Each structure stands twice: as C-alpha cells, then as structure tokens.
Structure 1
C-alpha cells in the first residue's frame, strides 16, 4: 500500500561515556572468603529515546557472569554487555614535558658557553709573555683573571644544578605519563555497555553490582583473661584481617555483615540483542527479591535492592534461575578504608564478654610446669571461624593460640600458656622390696611417689589437676596394684563396664579428689578405663596454699623375673 505519510526519522542514539573511577562512588562492599561484591552508584543525564551508556575502568578481576544492574528513573534497561576497553594510545609527551626538555636544551647550551669562556680565559692567560709585562702590572693581570674565572665557575655550578633539577622534572613528568598510559589499564581495563531507553530527558541513577576476586578476609582473635574477677573473665576481640588487590585503588569502604541467615541467590540472565561484544551474556539484578523469614536484615543492608523504596527501572524480557545458599555474615559499625595493596588490614568485628572455666593442669612426671587452660563458652550470636589468637592474661602477653570453629552456645578449650605461680616439686621415687614363698619365691616391690604443689598467688584457685601414672602389666606373672589413692575398677563384663558408668572420685583429703584420668571428660571411652594407668587429682587451693599428694603402688612378680619398663 502506498501512502503519502513519511515515516518518522530514527532518533540518534545518545552516547554517554563514564569512568567508573571518576563518575561513581562505592556505596557498599560485601566481603566473602576469596571474593567481594561491590556496589557502585552512577548518576547520569539521559535524553528521550535510546541511550548507550559505556562505563570504563572496571577491574580486570570482575566476574563477568556476576554483573547485576539496577536503576532508578523513568527508563528501561535493554541490554548489558562486558568487554575489554580498547587499548589507549601510549602517551609519550605533554606540554609540561616539552617545556622541560626545551629548558634543558637552553640550559645545556648556556653551560657549554660558560665552559668555553673559561677555557678561553685560561688559554689567554697562557699566551701572556712575562718579558713584555711590567712587574707592576702582573698583580693586576692575575687579580683580573681570578675575578673573571670565579664568576664563570659560579655560573657553571649554577647551570649544572639547574640541569639536575630539570632532569628530575623530566623524570617526574614521564612517570606521570606512564601512570596515565599503563597504570589504570593494568588492572582496570574492562568496560560495561548498557542500553537505556528513557521516556523523557532527565537524570537517572544506575547501580552496578558485581563480584571480584583478589579480595579476602580471615578471622583472628585477641583473648584477654582477667584473673581478678570471677564473672566474665574472658574478653574475646573478634577481628577480621582484610586484604584486596582488585585494582580499585581508590579507598573502598568495606562492610562486614553479622547475621547468619538462609537466603536465596537469584540471578537473571539478560537476552542480548546481538553478540557483537566480547564476553558472555551478563546477569541483570532482579529488583523485587522476596526476603526469607529468617533474614532480619533489609535488602538495603545486604547491598541488594538499593532502589526498592522508589520506582525502579524495568528490564527487558529475561529468564530466571535461582539457587539456595547458607551464608555467615557480620556487620561492623562505621566505615573502614582498605587500599588495593594486597596487605592485611585488621578491623574489629565485635568485642565479646564471655564466661570461662579456668583450670590448671600439670604432668610433673614429664614436666613440672603448670599449664593454664580456659574452657570458654560462646554465649553470643556470633559463629567463631577458625583463626589464630593472641592470648593476654592480666594485661600481659602470654602466648599464641588457636580458636577452632565454634557455633553459638558451644564451648571450646583455649590454652593460656604457662602459669609460673603454681609451682610443683616431683620428689624422687622411693622403693621397698620384700620376698615371700619357699619353693616359688615372690618379690613384692612397693613404690611411693610424693608430689608437692604451691600456690603462690594472692587469690585462691580452683580446678588444679595433677596427672600421674602407674605402670601397666602386660604379663600374667606380673601383678600391679595401686594402694594409694584407693581407686578401684568396677566389675566388667567382657570388654565393657557392667553399669556403663565410671566409678565416683575418691576423697583424698578436704578439697582434693582422685579419679581415673579421663573420666571427667565428655565422650570418654569406658572400655579404656584404667588401661593406661593414668590417674589425676583435682583440687582447690587457697591463696599461698600448699598441697601434698601421695601415689603408691605394688608390683608382685617371681623373684627370678627380670622386669623392664619401670
């Protein structure tokens, strides 16, 4: 059909070029182990119709498939592609560099002239004939030479100094040119092209949310123990060591989140109009993510849905996929700056006041030193990730330790180093031998071991555990019996204890109990009760107190037997 109407002309595409470094700000960074999610906000003016927005200087470590786009304003996002930016021409000169080179050339020529003048003066002095000069004039000639030569020397020194200064200016300017030509492009050479169709002219906002590698954090701790109090003796300072070398060299404000939630990861894949640009299709961010009931933070706190409170740009038709994931996150109040230097920068996540049960343990048969240990309960909402810890007791650094993974309401053991105020003497062992029998003589060996413990503290201590051991017979002809403390083994049926319960501790003296070693520990294997010969005493000691322990056992064997191992 022929018509006289002329079709409307195509509106030209409005091209907008933005530098991610200069035209945006980082509004949040969610840091994970080995990666980070960055949200950058851009403000730009669009014209009615089609706008092609190109954002340059995105980091090379950006995960192309992770790029999400959100927008606010009366416009529609059509497509998003990622590619490498064209390599800019190498910058080799500038007006400043040209001026410095010209100044150097002029100064060099002036220095050459000065040196020639000085050489001419010396040459003239060498041509003078003493026989033709009156004696009275020789002094004037020499004085004139000295004056002129000194002026030329000073001039030459000044020009040489100027040349050195000019050379520094040239080096500095060339360094700047190299930074412009190569510095940013080494790590920030990606660009994103975004098609935006605007209903009318005006300002819109676009947020780019993308993941980058080369960012990491690890847990670390300061454990401070106050021995002067009985409640909440432990202060645990939970720290994060953050490092990044993403190439986003301007200061970044990193937030580390703190709630443990189950939430979906929803990704929406764009359907590009063409495949002319390099790289795979990009993922667009969905703007109406539904929060899960367990999730107490808002989408805005998590870096999602930053435009949820206002009308958001629509997206062109997309396909949807979703997966579930459990994430452990922390939130740190305030802002911190982490440069792109690959170095670790520490930030405090939280400071926790925790209850702990302190105990002292020593195996004086091996070493008379007393080790201090804390059984710490994580009575907080924070999960503790594995990490190294610096241990302080009453303000003094004691040792390095290690914190295992600990969930809320779980407990963990933390070695606190040597406590020199609990001193132990392991006295020499005594032995008595008697014989009995007429035809088959039997030797009875009685061993006695004394242990003395001193508490030199000005305060009482509880849970002091001393571990010792008697030998265990591996031959039916050798019988070992412990006589002090009077610990016995319950009757057994085969390889199991009859009632499945360990024997009760024995009261040795007021405040001191003896037991088979291990029976007070959770998950103890009852079938191993007493098989290693280990026992322990657990006691409470008053300030400046002293405690004596006595271990005695008998070994009965044929008198002619040669026994080894005791």
Structure 2
C-alpha cells in the first residue's frame, strides 16, 4: 500500500465531494481510543504516534474517518501506510460539524431529570435516618442518666428522687438488663450511622454528576466542530485492511534521569539510565512500543546565518549632550558587547544510532496516560570500572571530596539530567550529570571522606617598603596546608588554592612558590599549574599514612600612596 502525505489545504467545516465526483461506496468511522497504539517515538519536546486501524472492506472506493484525535496534533505530519489489497488515494485533515449535539443535549436533559428524582429520594432517606439517630441517642442518654442517678459519686444511695424505697428491688433487675439493652442500642446506632454515611456519599456523587451536566444544557445550539482524519482508499478485493496512521503531537516529551551506585570495596560503578516521559495530548498510550529519541526537532536542521558585524565611529559630541561624564569608557562600549562584569532492573533498551541522534527502544510495552505526570521507563543498566580521586579547596572547605571517574564504554550517550548518587548502598546526594558521549570520561562527586584530613593554617603576612624616590609597598603572603592520608591505600588528591591576579599595570603579583613550569607545545600540562581562574592546581599522590605540606607563597607590590581592592588589608 502506498503512502500519501497530508494535503496542505485550509481547514474545512465538513467533508465535501466535488461536483460529479463519485461518493465512496462504503464508509467506516473509528474513534482514536479504539485504535491500537502500534508505536510511539518520544522526542525531548514532542512525540510521533503510530496507531493501527483495522477495517473490513469490500471492493470499490472506501472512506475511513478517524475521530477524536488529539488537539495537539500537527496536521502537516500525518502519514498513512498499511497492508492489504488497496491503495491510498487521498489523506485529509478536516473539521466537521458534530451532528449528534442535539441528541446529546436531549440525553443530558433526561439524565438530569432522573438525577433530581434520585437526589430527592436520597435526601428523604437521609432525613429519616437522622430522625432515627436522634431517637436512639435520646434513649441511650435516658439509660445513662437513669443509671447515673442511682448512685452518687461517693457510693451513697440517692434514689429518693427517682425511685420509691419500696421498689428498690426493681433496680437490681434493671441493672441486669441495662448493659445488654445499651449495647444493642449502640450497635443499632452504628449501623444506622453507616447507612447515613452511604447515603451522604451517594448524594455527593449525584450532585457532582448534576453539576457536570449543567454546562452541556446551557450550551448554545450552534454546531460543535471536531477534528478528523479522512483516508480515501481504492480497494481491489474484499479483505481486512490494516492502516498505520502516524502523526506528531506536541505537549509530550522525555528527560533523562540516573541512579549512580558506586562500590568502594569492589571498585565498581553502576549507572541505571531512566527516561521520564510526560504527555498531556488527550490520548492515552496504552501497551505501546516506546522509543526515546535524542533528536531535537525544535532546534532545526540548518546552521543559522551569521550577519555582517558593522562598526561605525561615534560623532565627537559634547559629553554633556551625550549624558556622559567625559571619562574613558570600557573598551567594549559601543560595540554591542556591554560593559565588563566583575567577578529497578529491566531488560536494556536497544540503541539505534543515526548520524546526529540516537534512539532507545524500550524493551517492554509501556502505558503512558495523558495525565502530564512523569512516568519512568528503564533504558539501560551500565557497569563501569571507575577510578577514585579527591578534590580539596581548603580555603572554602577543609575537607577532601571523593570523586569517581569513569569512561562511558557503552553505546548509550548520556544526556544532561539529574542523578541520585549512592555510595556503598547509602544515599549521598542528588547532582546533575553532564552530557557524556560514548567513550568519553566523566566524573561525579561522592561527598566528604573524613579519612583524608585537610588543615588550612592561618596565613602569614609581612609588609615592607622599598625605593628611595618612588616608594612601593611589598606584601608577602605565605599559606601552608597540611594534608594527611590515613587510609590503607594510596590517594590521589587535586589541591586548589587562590593566587591574586593583577588587573592594573601598577600592581604586580609574583608567585614564588610553587614554581610553575612553562607549558610546552604538545607536552602534558605542568604539575602544579595555574588554571583558567589563575588558581594554583596541584595534583598530589599520597601513600598510605603519608602527609604532605603544601605552601603557596607570593608577593604583591604597588605604589605606597595607592589602595588595593580585594587584598583584604
């Protein structure tokens, strides 16, 4: 059966036949909820749904009308394919008038009349129940009052007001039957109370349904429009025809989520990859073959066009007329850059890789209702062999943070998303896993390891003045950090600390210790080194029980009559 694309034409109120055109000899109407979901491909911001429509047709022309389709459907995305002795001659997307509106209003009116009668009967039952409850309550109170009056709080007989002394023997007979009668009354009261609650719940349901029908009764008589897909077929012989109708809907998408479980004793990392699917298309995807695609159709398929950046000289106007102060502007001013700112296990999915995206085929059929709630599906479980290192920034936190590093040796690309991190079966934190391609290295922090101790000692600062005519001030700063590895195995630690960076030619900063070697082309980065933030970064290897003293020593020199911002003087 051939595939016919949707005709790009204005929406029509109803299906019309051209003059002289032969009407289809047979017509089948099917509602979308009655069509089996064949497959769903979910993108980050939309989804492509394919439904299976099965119809029995006789030879000749036929029209299949698909009703109750999603309001978020993209009409230009409809495709039809299928199996059977027939060919598709036309596919259309139309708006038709719903002719059953008057019948629906009449049915609603009849239902309202029936509801009102049921509500009246329920209210009468509830009133009778209330009266019965009141009588039982009064009887129980009378028994309680009569019994309480027989004896005073101190145990003395006070029956003169209620009984004649001659009939005192009757009291004992009463006491024998009192408990039995009051228990029976309380049981009967509980049963009546239960009936009352049932009646109240029934009234709530009846009134809710009555409220739901009111808008339908108050609607104007103008026709209601419904979107439908029409498929015209030329059937060669009598047979059961299977149509695969595909369309793209918005209000759907998926995001990644991960569980990272690390075992420090076994030196393993297990990444459980989930996809969280949400949709509010108005159609439930039941028992669907689900696929998650990493493609992003909303970004577009072509690179943007870069326009010419044109510069012009600003006329030399009077600073007061320009609203300025006459002072020199930032070097970026006038170029449009702005001013500089300060500082559960399941079978793994199958992966299909295209040139620019991947598709994860979920192994088990899935139900995704149109409730706009997140539904987690299992993509894969990946076992990795990590290495462990430590990071410490003692100026901000005197701790060593354990970090696991691993290479994604699977065929699954990791998209950026939230991740729950577990270390030795204990929850550590929630973090964000950055995008990781296959065969790319990534890392995640596992929290503080107290077995690596870090002590950031108070800074030593010395001041001196130099020069005869143009005096300058020189401050010498010395910062010492002690690091101790108390573990029974070696530890690799990346130590980071600040060294000031001068933003003025009159201000000179000289790093004396450690000595930073110059980077040679093609050679590995020196250790220690200055990173992109001008901070000292030092990779240290400490053996079991080994300690290391790390010293940062630098001088700051500037004219004696100047003040320095950020030096903490």
CA distance in 1, matches of 2:435, 2:452: 31
Aligned equivalents of 1:516 and 1:16: distance in 2? 75
2:456 corresponds to 1:426: yes
| Alignment match of 1:255 (pick from 272, 287, 290) | 290
2: distance between equivalents of 1:444 and 1:222?
53
Q: How much has 1:450 moved relative to structure 2?
A: 3.7
Distance 1:434 1:357, change over 3 A: same
User: Partners of 1:160 and 1:552 in 2: how far apart?
Assistant: 81
Counterpart of 1:217? Answer: 254
SS of residue in 2 equivalent to 1:220: strand
C-alpha distance in 2 between matches for 1:250 and 1:558: 71
The offset of 1:210, in angstroms, is 1.2
Per the alignment, do residues 366 and 162 of structure 1 end up closer, same or farther by CA in structure 2, a change over 3 Å counting?
Answer: closer
Q: 1:83 to 1:461 in 2, by over 3 A?
A: farther
Q: How many residues are treated as equivalent by the alignment?
A: 421
Q: 1:171 aligns with which of 192, 200, 207?
A: 207
Q: 2:238 aligns with which of 201, 216, 222?
A: 201
Residues 43-85 of structure 1: CA distance to partner in whole angstroms, max 9, x if unpaired? 2111221222222111111111111111222222221212234
Cα distance in 2, alignment partners of residues 329 and 179 from structure 1: 45
Q: Deviations over 1:154-188 (max 9, x none)?
A: 9x999999985764463365478689999xxxx99
2:564 matches 1:549: no
Question: Does the Cα contact within 8 Å between 1:188 and 1:247 map onto a contact in 2?
Answer: no
The answer to whether residue 399 in structure 2 is matched with residue 369 in structure 1 is yes
Contact 2:360 2:379 (8 Å CA) reproduced:
yes
Tell me the CA shift for residue 216 of structure 1: 0.4
Which of 56, 61, 66 is matched with 1:45 structurally?
56
Is 1:334 matched with 2:364?
A: yes
1:472 positional shift: 7.3
SS at match of 1:93: helix
Q: CA 1:66/1:469 → structure 2, altered by over 3 Å: closer, same or farther? A: closer
Q: CA 1:94/1:170 → structure 2, altered by over 3 Å: closer, same or farther?
A: farther
Deviations 1:272-331 (A, max 9, x none): xxxxxxxxxxxxxxxxxxxxxxxxx99xx99xxxxxxxxxxxxxxxxxxxxx98432112
Q: Does 1:191 align with 2:228?
A: yes
Distance of aligned partners of 1:173 and 1:221 in 2 relative to their CA distance in 1, 3 Å threshold: same
Where do residues 458-537 of structure 1 align in structure 2 (5 Å cutoff)? 459-468=488-497, 482=512, 487=515, 489=517, 500=521, 515-518=528-531, 532=534, 534=536, 536-537=538-539
Contact kept, 8 Å, 2:511 with 2:554, in 1: the verdict is yes
CA distance in 2, matches of 1:556, 1:213: 60
CA contact (8 A) 1:57 1:188 kept: no
CA distance change for structure 1 residues 220 and 352 in 2, over 3 Å: closer, same or farther?
A: same
> Structure 1 CA distance, aligned partners of 2:558 and 2:32?
90
Structure 2 unpaired stretches of 5+:
1-21, 131-188, 219-223, 296-349
Secondary structure, aligned partner of 2:369: coil
Match of 1:385 among 394, 415, 422: 415
Q: How far apart, CA to CA, are the structure 1 residues paired with 2:129 and 2:429?
A: 70
Please say if residues 110 and 159 of structure 1, whose CA atoms lie closer than 8 Å, have aligned partners that are also in contact. Answer: no
Is the alpha carbon distance of 1:19 and 1:179 closer, same or farther for their aligned partners in structure 2, counting shifts above 3 Å?
farther
Q: 1:453 maps to which residue? A: 483
Alignment RMSD (CA, Å): 4.9
CA distance in 1, matches of 2:23, 2:448: 80
How far, CA to CA, are the matches of 2:200 and 2:507 in structure 1?
96
